[in-house]
Amino acid sequence: MENPRAEKVSVVDEVREKLEGADAVLLTEYRGLKVGELATLRNAMAPAGGEYKIYKNTLVRIAAQSIGLDIDSLLTGPTALALVSTQADGTPGDIASVAKAIQDFSKGQPLLVLKGGVLGETILDAGGAKALASLPTGPEIYSRLAGAINSQARGMASVVSGVHRSIAYVLQAAIDAQAFGGDAPAPSTEVTAEAAPAAEAEAPEVAEEATAEASETTTETVAEAATDPTEDTPAADDAAQESED
């Protein structure tokens, strides 16, 4: 392992802290790019929690080895580190957005080359690092989640509304069928102590009148039937027709 001079120890410590605190690191070669162009790339990845730093490969190598990262094969040529970490306001870094920023920038600036990266404890080659750019970004994930939640909420609202309508239909059908009407309450059979003797006294007279009326009605009916024995009623004709059928 190479030992840096005393004046460079602080730089190694800085690189080590940044590597340890990063969720991901993308290594790029920036040979031939101007300072203004690098500033444009820094500004593009900053909103996603990306920090674009340039250190000497020797110092990066020492810092990486001190924490068990073997990225020697990626530290060739002028190398810059795109460090993705949690932002000052606590917002997590968006690895996919930073990778997309690098990919989009390289389309207009072929001099920028994505060489590989580190994701957790995994060392990525160029292909693996580029694959990060194909992942959905944070805003895209949030949008999909919001859409799914909104869809579920609409579905639940429809179900609840449907249940309410179904209950209303059932209740209305039951009301139309007078299912809740029930039998009318029977009149009270209780009588007061004063009214009871009078009711008992009137009962025999009422019974005698009802018997007399029934006797008269029966006598009249028999007399009418004897007067015209051949006369058939419409009801009798209907009964006979039904019997023949």
Q: What letter would DSSP give residue 233? A: P
Other beta carbons within 10 angstroms of residue 158's beta carbon come to 10
Q: What pLDDT score does 193 carry?
A: 44
pLDDT at 241 over 50: no
State in Å, rounded, how far the first CA of the chain is from the last one: 117
The torsion defined by the Cα of 20, 23, 24 and 25, in degrees rounded to 10, comes to -40
Q: Which two tokens stand for residue 208?
A: 């005698």
pLDDT in tens, 37-80: 999 999 999 999 999 999 999 999 999 999 999 999 999 999 99
0.75 exceeded by pTM: no
What's the rounded Cα separation, in Å, for the pair 134 and 138? Answer: 12
Domains and CATH numbers, the chain: 1-29+51-123 (3.30.70.1730)
The most confident of the ranges 45-49, 203-207, 209-213, 236-240 is 45-49
Does residue 102 contact residue 41 with C-beta atoms inside 8 Å? yes
Three-state DSSP class for residue 27: strand
Distance CA 120, CA 43 (A): 24
pLDDT tens, position by position, 129-174: 999 988 876 555 555 556 556 555 555 555 545 544 555 555 566 5
